[in-house]
């Protein structure tokens, strides 16, 4: 049976008013426990705030764990040469070794992931990405929150805000125990989707300028019992068929012609993980669907699982090294790349990213390319930041226009569709999270609006926490 679809002539009903239990009063409430939420909660707690983090799932990590989005993309200015890359590597390039532009929470997480045996540090061999184990990621994130003194509430979906003067004074969560409220002096929206900001009345944009389409969704999965040597032998013998992490164009074409593969992309994309006999496959693609629309999400999960079944069979039948491989795990949820981009005091643009622009109110840095998976079909656009350079993310992009007591962090900050395709990656999301958390903590402590906090004080605290502001 096909999934339920959006009704043609929707009928609605009025719900009864409800009362909610107040679970906590916090200085800073962080909504969402993904990369941005983790950075925000730890940043705010280290700045001395009483922090509560609320998350709809029963574990932390967001896309990194729920959607099996692996690895952490590179935060180094350069890419290594193709010949020296293994299956973990990102994209071929010949700019030589670069330098890291993000530190602070990302560095702490990396160090602890490696200590816990769950990640490979960035190097030429990994193409400066960080392959990690999602189960170790979940445990490590919990450790870091515990150590920072962050209290948390799981299985809590933010559905509304408690209106306060100029902005939300709390957030309403749907739980198995009924509606629950967390009150806070400042809220950080790290839902990826800007759910809280939208409920608080913040203006936002969705999709690219000409047709409103967003980047596709992808259900990621892990394949185990893969024979790396056999695959690398094939890749070496067919240099036109594999470029670092993607390719196999001829095999995809052959399977498509045989009626065995029906994908909205022309190649296969996968990454190595810390486990030598495993890869994380990033190849299903559902276009013309929006990750904040329940009808689209339902159809996307349905469609992506059809693609996953085909891909599992394709790998075993067509791809050397995968003869005995099998799908060991898929995401709890399809991965959502792009939804709301909340309009902030400043909107970051592609020119800012590709021009390596600096800002007085820098709170984080990025160097990842503009990377747009075609919202309408096959193909991916990639445009690089100049070799050796990085761009700044200004605090103003985290401050929603016209709404007080609220910051946004991660992939829902203020930027254009093109700029978003760069700053959406997890290390940058963690860094904007840390910036938002620190600003929220200082605002709460001073009893001021986040819009009025002294930028130099935010930057000073971020530096104290080890962040890289490009000094």
Give me the residues that bind ligand FAD (CB under 6 A), please: 31-37, 54-57, 62-63, 66-67, 69, 71-73, 157-158, 190-193, 195, 218, 220, 282, 335-337, 410-411, 424-426, 429
Least Cβ distance, residue 380 to ligand FAD (angstroms): 12
Measured between alpha carbons, how far is 215 from 411 in angstroms, rounded to an integer?
12
182: helix, coil or strand? strand
CB-nearer residue toward ligand FAD: 112 or 341: 341
Least Cβ distance, residue 355 to ligand FAD (angstroms): 22
E strand or H helix that includes residue 24: strand 21-31
Nearest to 444 by CA among 54, 182, 51: 51
Nearest to 406 by CA among 221, 150, 195, 265: 195
Which residues does 81 contact at the CB level (< 8 Å), separation at least 6? Answer: 92, 93, 94, 96
Least Cβ distance, residue 39 to ligand FAD (angstroms): 8
Rounded to 5 degrees, φ, ψ at 211 are: -135, 5
Rounded to 5 degrees, φ, ψ at 373 are: -75, 130
- The conformation of residue 67, written as its DSSP 8-state character, comes to S
CB-nearer residue toward ligand FAD: 272 or 312: 272
Q: Strand order of the sheet with strand 268-272?
A: 242-243, 246-247, 268-272, 278-281, 221-224, 326-330
Least Cβ distance, residue 447 to ligand FAD (angstroms): 27
CB-nearer residue toward ligand FAD: 35 or 127: 35
Tokens of 338: 């792009």
CB-nearer residue toward ligand FAD: 25 or 174: 174
CB-nearer residue toward ligand FAD: 78 or 88: 88
Tokens of 318: 């067509």
295: exposed, middle or buried (C-beta count within 10 Å: 0-12, 13-18, 19+)?
A: middle
Measured between alpha carbons, how far is 441 from 112 in angstroms, rounded to an integer?
24
Nearest to 432 by CA among 458, 463, 408, 461: 408
CB-nearer residue toward ligand FAD: 55 or 133: 55
363: helix, coil or strand? strand
Least Cβ distance, residue 136 to ligand FAD (angstroms): 16
Least Cβ distance, residue 336 to ligand FAD (angstroms): 5
CB-nearer residue toward ligand FAD: 337 or 451: 337
CB-nearer residue toward ligand FAD: 158 or 356: 158
Least Cβ distance, residue 302 to ligand FAD (angstroms): 17
b/e sequence 106-138, b meaning 16+ C-beta within 10 Å: bbbbbebbbeeebbbebbeebbbbbbbbbebbb
CB-nearer residue toward ligand FAD: 324 or 332: 332
CB-nearer residue toward ligand FAD: 15 or 317: 15
206: exposed, middle or buried (C-beta count within 10 Å: 0-12, 13-18, 19+)?
A: middle
- The conformation of residue 301, written as its DSSP 8-state character, comes to H
Least Cβ distance, residue 181 to ligand FAD (angstroms): 13
Least Cβ distance, residue 156 to ligand FAD (angstroms): 6
Given a contact cutoff of 8 angstroms between Cβ atoms, the answer to whether 71 and 88 are in contact is yes
Least Cβ distance, residue 31 to ligand FAD (angstroms): 5
CB-nearer residue toward ligand FAD: 190 or 362: 190
CB-nearer residue toward ligand FAD: 239 or 379: 379
Tokens of 84: 């020296």
Least Cβ distance, residue 259 to ligand FAD (angstroms): 26
Helices (H), 320-454: 350-354, 417-423, 426-446
The owner of tokens 């164009």 is 249
11: exposed, middle or buried (C-beta count within 10 Å: 0-12, 13-18, 19+)?
A: exposed
Least Cβ distance, residue 171 to ligand FAD (angstroms): 8
């Amino acid at each position: 049976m096909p999934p339920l679809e959006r009704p043609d002539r929707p009928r609605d009903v009025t719900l009864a008013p409800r009362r909610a239990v107040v679970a906590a009063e916090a200085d800073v409430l962080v909504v969402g426990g993904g990369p941005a939420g983790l950075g925000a909660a730890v940043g705010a707690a280290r700045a001395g705030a009483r922090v509560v983090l609320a998350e709809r799932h029963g574990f932390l990590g967001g896309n990194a764990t729920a959607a099996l989005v692996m690895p952490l993309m590179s935060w180094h200015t350069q890419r290594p040469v193709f010949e020296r890359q293994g299956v973990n590597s990102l994209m071929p390039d010949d700019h030589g070794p670069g330098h890291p532009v993000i530190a602070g929470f990302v560095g702490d997480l990396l160090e602890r992931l490696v200590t816990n045996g769950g990640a490979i540090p960035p190097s030429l061999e990994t193409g400066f990405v960080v392959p990690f184990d999602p189960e170790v990621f979940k445990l490590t994130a919990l450790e870091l929150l515990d150590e920072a003194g962050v209290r948390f509430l799981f299985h809590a979906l933010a559905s509304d805000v408690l209106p306060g003067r100029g902005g939300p004074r709390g957030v309403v969560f749907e739980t198995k125990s009924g509606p629950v409220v967390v009150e806070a002096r400042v809220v950080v929206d790290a839902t990826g989707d800007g759910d809280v900001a939208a409920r608080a009345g913040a203006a936002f944009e969705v999709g690219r300028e000409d047709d409103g389409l967003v980047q596709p969704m992808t259900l990621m999965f892990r394949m185990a019992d893969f024979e790396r040597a056999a695959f690398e032998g094939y890749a070496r013998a067919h240099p036109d068929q594999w470029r670092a992490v993607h390719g196999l164009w001829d095999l995809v074409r052959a399977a498509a012609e045989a009626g065995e593969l029906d994908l909205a992309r022309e190649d296969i994309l996968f990454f190595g993980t810390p486990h030598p006999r495993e890869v994380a496959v990033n190849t299903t693609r559902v276009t013309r669907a929006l990750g904040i629309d329940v009808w689209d999400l339902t159809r996307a999960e349905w469609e992506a699982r059809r693609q996953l079944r085909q891909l599992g069979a394709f790998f075993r039948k067509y791809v050397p090294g995968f003869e005995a491989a099998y799908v060991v795990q898929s995401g709890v949820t399809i991965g959502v790349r792009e939804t709301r981009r909340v309009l902030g005091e400043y909107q970051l643009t592609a020119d800012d990213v590709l021009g390596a622009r600096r800002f007085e109110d820098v709170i984080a840095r990025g160097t990842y390319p503009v990377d747009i998976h075609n919202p309408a079909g096959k193909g991916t656009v990639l445009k690089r930041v100049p070799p050796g350079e990085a761009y700044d993310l200004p605090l103003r992009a985290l401050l929603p226009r016209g709404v007080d007591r609220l910051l946004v962090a991660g992939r829902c900050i203020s930027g254009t569709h093109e700029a978003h395709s760069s700053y959406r990656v997890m290390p940058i999301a963690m860094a904007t999270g840390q910036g938002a958390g620190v600003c929220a903590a200082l605002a709460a402590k001073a009893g001021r609006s986040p819009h009025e906090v002294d930028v130099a004080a935010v930057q000073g605290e971020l530096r104290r926490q080890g962040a890289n502001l490009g000094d």
